[in-house]
Structure 1
Amino acid sequence: MTIETGPSSGPSDPSDPSAYAAARAALLDRPGLTGRPRRAALARLTDDWLAGLLAAAGVPSSGASSSGAPSSGVALVAVGGYGRGELSPRSDLDVLLLHDGPIAPELPERIWYPVWDAGAKLDHSVRTPAEARAVAAADLKAQLGLLDARHLAGDGALTAALRSAVLTDWRASAPARLPELRELGRERAERHGELSFLLEPDLKEARGGLRDLVALDAVAATWLADAPRDGLDAAALRLADVRDALHLATGRATERLSLQDQDQVAERLGVLDADTLLRQVYEAARTVAYAGDVTWRAVDRVLAARSGRGRRTGRPVFRFAGAGRGAGAVARGAVARRPLAEGVVEQDGEAVLAQGARPAADPVLPLRAAAAAAQNGLTVSYATVRRLAAECRPLPVPWPDEAREQLVTLLGAGEAAVPVWEALEAEGLITKLLPDWERVRCRPQRNAVHRWTVDRHLVETAVRAASMTRRVARPDLLLVAALLHDIGKGWPGDHSEAGEVIVRDLAVRMGFPAEDTETLAVLVRHHLTLVDTATRRDPDDPATVEAITKAVGTPSELELLHALTEADALATGPAAWSGWRASLVDGLVARAAAQLAGGGAAPEGAAPWARPSAEQERIAVEAARTGGPALSLLARAEGADPGSGPMGVELTLAVPDRPGLLGTVAGVLALHRLTVRSAGLRELDPVGSGPVLLLSWRVAAEFGELPEAARLRADLRRALDGSLDVSRRLAERDAAAPRRRGIPTPPPLVAVAPAVASATATVLEVRAHDAPGLLHRIGRALDGAGVRVRTAHVSTLGAEAVDSFYLTDPAGRPLTAGRAGEVAAAVRAALG
Structure 2
Amino acid sequence: MTSVDVRTESESEDSGPSGYAAARLRLLQGDARSGPPRRSALADLTDDWLTGLFTGGGAPRGVSLVAVGGYGRGELSPRSDLDLLLLHDGSADAGEVAALADRIWYPIWDLGLALDHSVRTPAEARKTAGEDLKVQLGLLDARHVVGDLGLTAGLRTAVLADWRNLAPKRLPELRELCEERAERQGELNYLLEPDLKEARGGLRDATALRAVAASWLADAPREGLSDARRRLLDVRDALHLTTGRATDRLALQEQDQVAAELGLLDADTLLRQVYESARTVSYASDVTWREVGRVLRSRSVRPRLRAMLGGGKGAAVAERSPLAEGVVEQDGEVVLARAARPERDPVLPLRAAAAAAQAGLPLSLHAVRRMAAAVRPLPTPWPAEAREQLVTLLGAGRPTVEVWEALEAEGLITRLLPDWERVRCRPQRNAVHTWTVDRHLVETAVRASELTRRVGRPDLLLVAGLLHDIGKGWPGDHSVAGEIIARDVAARIGFDRGDVTVLATLVRHHLLLIETATRRDLDDPATVRAVADAVGSLGTLELLHALTEADALATGPAAWSAWRGSLVADLVKRVGAVLSGDEPEGVEDVAPTAEQERLAVEAFRTGGPVLALRAQTEGPGPVGEASGEPEPLGVELIIAVPDQPGVLSAVAGVLAMHRLAVRTAELRGVGLQGVGLASGPSSGLEDSVLLLNWRVAAEYGSLPQAARLRSDLVRALDGSLDIASRLAERDAAYPRRRGTVAPPPRVTVAPAGSRLATVIEVRAQDAPGLLHRIGRALESAGVVVRSAHVSTLGANAVDAFYVTGDGAPLSGERAVGVARAVEEVLRG
Q: Specify if TM > 0.5.
A: yes
Q: Deviations over 1:230-250 (max 9, x none)?
A: 000110111111111111111
Question: Counterpart of 1:165 in 2: which secondary structure?
Answer: helix
Q: Does 1:597 align with 2:588?
A: no
Q: How far is the alpha carbon of 1:789 from its aligned partner?
A: 1.0
Pairing partner for 2:735 from 732, 735, 738: 738
Of residues 788, 812, 815, the one that matches 1:817 is 812
Match of 2:605 among 625, 628, 631: 625
Does the aligned pair in 2 maintain the 1:764–1:805 contact within 8 Å?
yes
CA distance in 2, matches of 1:384, 1:198: 30
Is 1:789 aligned to 2:780, yes or no? no
Is the 1:338–1:347 contact (alpha carbons within 8 Å) kept by the matching residues of 2? yes
Residue of structure 2 in register with 1:770 after alignment:
766
Q: Does 2:488 correspond to 1:499?
A: no
Among 642, 648, 652, the residue aligned to 1:656: 642
- Contact 1:20–1:118 (Cα < 8 Å) also in 2: no
Label 1:616 to 1:17 Cα distance change in 2 as closer, same or farther (>3 A): farther
- Report which stretch shifted further, 133-142 or 788-797: 133-142
| Counterpart in the other structure of 2:357 | 374
- 3-state DSSP class of the match of 1:374? helix
Q: Which residue of 2 aligns with 1:110?
A: 103
- In structure 2, the CA distance between the partners of 1:144 and 1:611, relative to structure 1 (3 Å rule), is farther
- What is aligned with 2:62? 73
Closer, same or farther in 2 for the Cα pair 1:333/1:309, shift >3 Å? Answer: closer
**Matched residue type, 1:294:** V
Instruction: Tell me the residue number matched to 2:493.
Output: 510
> What one-letter code is carried by the residue in structure 1 that aligns with 2:157?
S
**Contact 2:444-2:466 within 8 A present in 1 as well:** yes
**The residue matched to 1:106 in structure 2 has which SS?**
helix
- Contact kept? 2:67, 2:83, Cα under 8 Å: yes
| 1:563-587 residue CA offsets vs partner (Å, 9 max, x unmatched) | 1111111111122112221111111
Which whole-Å CA distance do the structure 1 matches of 2:438 and 2:747 have between them?
31
User: What SS is found at the alignment partner of 1:89?
Assistant: coil
Q: What is the alpha-carbon distance in structure 1 between the residues aligned to residue 581 and residue 514 of structure 2?
A: 23
Q: Deviations over 1:74-129 (max 9, x none)?
A: 11111111111110111010111112224223332111110011111111111222
Q: For 1:196-345, what aligned pairs fall within 5 Å after superposition?
A: 196-308=189-301, 333-345=316-328
- The worse-fitting range, judged by mean Cα deviation, of 23-32 and 235-244 is 23-32
Match of 1:5 in 2: none
Deviation of the 1:333 alpha carbon = 3.8
For 1:54, the equivalent position in structure 2 comes to 54
Describe the SS at the equivalent of 1:795. Answer: strand
Structure 1 residue 829, shift from structure 2 partner: 2.3
After superposition, the Cα gap between the structure-2 partners of 1:156 and 1:466, relative to the gap in structure 1 and judged at 3 Å, is: same
1:670 alignment counterpart: 656
Question: Is the alpha carbon distance of 1:664 and 1:638 closer, same or farther for their aligned partners in structure 2, counting shifts above 3 Å?
Answer: farther
Answer yes or no: is the 8 Å Cα contact 2:609–2:713 preserved in 1.
Answer: no
Gap change, CA 1:223 and 1:773, over 3 Å in 2: same
Paired residue secondary structure (2:94): coil
Task: Assess if the C-alpha contact under 8 Å between 1:17 and 1:117 holds in 2.
Answer: no
User: Does the 8 Å CA contact 1:313/1:334 hold for their aligned counterparts?
Assistant: no
Asked whether the equivalents of residues 627 and 655 of structure 1 are also in contact (C-alpha less than 8 Å), the reply is yes
Deviations 1:188-235 (A, max 9, x none): 112211111111111111111001001101111111111000000110
CA RMSD of aligned residues (A): 2.2
8 Å Cα contact 1:312-1:334 kept in structure 2: no
Question: Which amino acid is the alignment partner of residue 731 of structure 2?
Answer: D
Name the residue aligned to 2:522.
Answer: 539
Q: Are the equivalent residues in 2 in contact too, given 1:305–1:312 (CA < 8 A)?
A: no
Task: Return the match for 1:485 from 458, 468, 477.
Answer: 468
3-state SS in 1 of match to 2:398: helix
Alpha-carbon displacement from aligned partner over 1:369-390 (angstroms, at most 9, x marks no partner):
1001101111111100000101
> Where does residue 44 of structure 2 map in the other structure?
44
How far did residue 29 of structure 1 move? Answer: 2.1
User: In the superposition, relative to structure 1, how do residues 217 and 32 fare at CA in structure 2: closer, same or farther (>3 Å)?
Assistant: same
Number of residues paired by the alignment? 786
The answer to whether the Cα contact below 8 Å between 2:357 and 2:399 also exists between their aligned partners in 1 is yes
Letter in 2 for 1:276: T
Alignment CA distance shift 1:705-1:348 (3 Å): farther
Cα contact 2:529–2:584 (8 A) shared by 1: no
Query: Structure 1, residues 792-824: CA drift from partner, whole Å, max 9, x if none?
Result: 011111111111000112x42222333323322
Letter in 1 for 2:94: I
2:688 is aligned, of 683, 687, 691, to 691
Q: Aligned partners of 1:128, 1:517: CA distance in 2, in Å? A: 73
Shift of 1:637: 5.1
Matching residue's letter, 1:620: A
Which secondary structure does the structure 1 equivalent of 2:83 belong to?
strand
Offset of 1:658 from its aligned partner? Answer: 1.7
Given candidates 443, 458, 476, the residue that maps to 2:459 is 476
Preserved CA contact (<8 Å) 1:577 1:644? no
- Contact persistence 2:129–2:136 (CA under 8 A): yes
Q: Residue 696 of structure 1 aligns to which amino acid in structure 2? A: N
Give the deviation of 1:17 after TM superposition: 5.4
In structure 2, C-alpha distance between the alignment counterparts of 1:172 and 1:251, rounded to whole Å: 42
Which of the numbers 777, 780, 783 marks the counterpart of 2:776? Answer: 780
Deviation at 1:562, TM superposition (A): 0.7
1:729 aligns with 2:730: no
Amino acid at match of 2:185: H
* Unaligned segments of structure 1, at least 5 residues: 1-12, 61-71, 315-330
Q: Counterpart of 1:222 in structure 2: which amino acid?
A: S
Residue 321 of structure 1: aligned partner: none
- The residue number in structure 1 matching 2:4 is none
Give distance in 1, aligned partners of 2:655 and 2:132: 51
Aligned-partner residue type, residue 666 of structure 1: A
Matched residue SS, 1:445: coil
Letter in 2 for 1:822: G
**Match for residue 86 of structure 1?**
75
Output the CA distance in 1 between the equivalents of 2:113 and 2:706. 54
Whole-angstrom CA distance in 2 between matches of 1:741 and 1:309:
61
Cα offset, 1:296, TM superposition: 0.7
Contact 1:411 1:463 in 2 (8 A): yes
Distance across 1 between alignment mates of 2:701 and 2:230: 42
Structure 2, unmatched stretches of 5+, are: 1-12, 308-313, 679-686
Between the aligned partners of 1:484 and 1:623, the Cα distance in structure 2 is 51
- State which of 448, 454, 459 in structure 1 corresponds to 2:431: 448
| TM-score, length of structure 2 as denominator length | 0.91
TM value normalised by structure 1: 0.91
Decide whether aligned partners of structure 1 residues 57 and 695 sit closer, same or farther in structure 2, where only a CA change above 3 A counts: farther
Distance in 1, Cα, partners of 2:567 & 2:665:
12
- CA distance, structure 1, for counterparts of residue 301 and residue 763 of structure 2: 62
Instruction: Give 1:119-198 correspondences, 5 Å limit.
Output: 119-198=112-191
Deviation at 1:722, TM superposition (A): 4.3
1:830 alignment partner AA:
V
Which deviates more, 267-276 or 469-478?
A: 267-276
Per the TM alignment, residue 736 of structure 1 is displaced from its structure 2 partner at its CA by 2.0
Task: Work out whether residues 82 and 94 of structure 1, in 8 Å CA contact, stay in contact via their aligned partners in 2.
Answer: yes
Cα drift, residue 620 of structure 1: 2.5
Which deviates further from its counterpart, 449-458 or 666-675?
666-675
Query: Residue 518 of structure 2 aligns to which amino acid in structure 1?
Result: T
Kept in 1: contact 2:612–2:706 (CA 8 A):
no
Q: How far does residue 674 in structure 1 lie from its aligned partner after superposition?
A: 2.2
One-letter amino acid of the counterpart of residue 401, structure 1: A
Question: Helix, strand or coil for the counterpart of 1:414?
Answer: coil
CA distance in 2, matches of 1:578, 1:688: 36
Q: Which moved more, 1:726-735 or 1:476-485?
A: 726-735
Are the counterparts in 2 of residues 449 and 572 from structure 1 also a CA contact under 8 Å? yes
Q: State the one-letter code of the partner of 1:781.
A: A
Partner SS state of residue 747, structure 2: strand
1:766 to partner: Cα distance? 0.7
Superposed, 1:714-725 pairs within 5 Å as 714-725=711-722
